[in-house]
Amino acid sequence: MNYRIMVTGSAGQLGYDVVKTFQAEGLQVLACDRNQMDITDQQQCTDMITTFQPHIIIHCAAYTAVDQAEVDEDAAYAVNVSGTRNITVAAESVNAKLVYISTDYVFDGQGSLPYREYDVTNPQSVYGKSKLAGEWLVQSLCTQWFIIRTSWVFGVSGSNFVKTMLELMEKRPQLQVVHDQQGSPTYTVDLARFIYILSASEKYGIYHASNSGTCTWYEFAQAISEEANKQGGFKPTAELNPCTTDQFPRPAPRPAYSVMDHLAIRTNDLKPLRPWREALIAFLNELSVQKTD
Residues with catalytic function: 127
Which helix or strand (DSSP H or E) is residue 193 part of? helix 188-199
Give the Cα separation of 277 and 19 in Å (integer): 24
Q: Which residues contact 94 (CB under 8 A, 6 or more apart)?
A: 49, 50, 53, 54
Q: Which residues contact 241 (CB under 8 A, 6 or more apart)?
A: 174, 175, 176, 177
Residue count (the chain): 293
Within 10 A of 42 (CB to CB), how many other CB atoms are there? 16
Give the Cα separation of 289 and 145 in Å (integer): 36
The partner residues of 175 in beta bridges, in order of sequence, read: 240
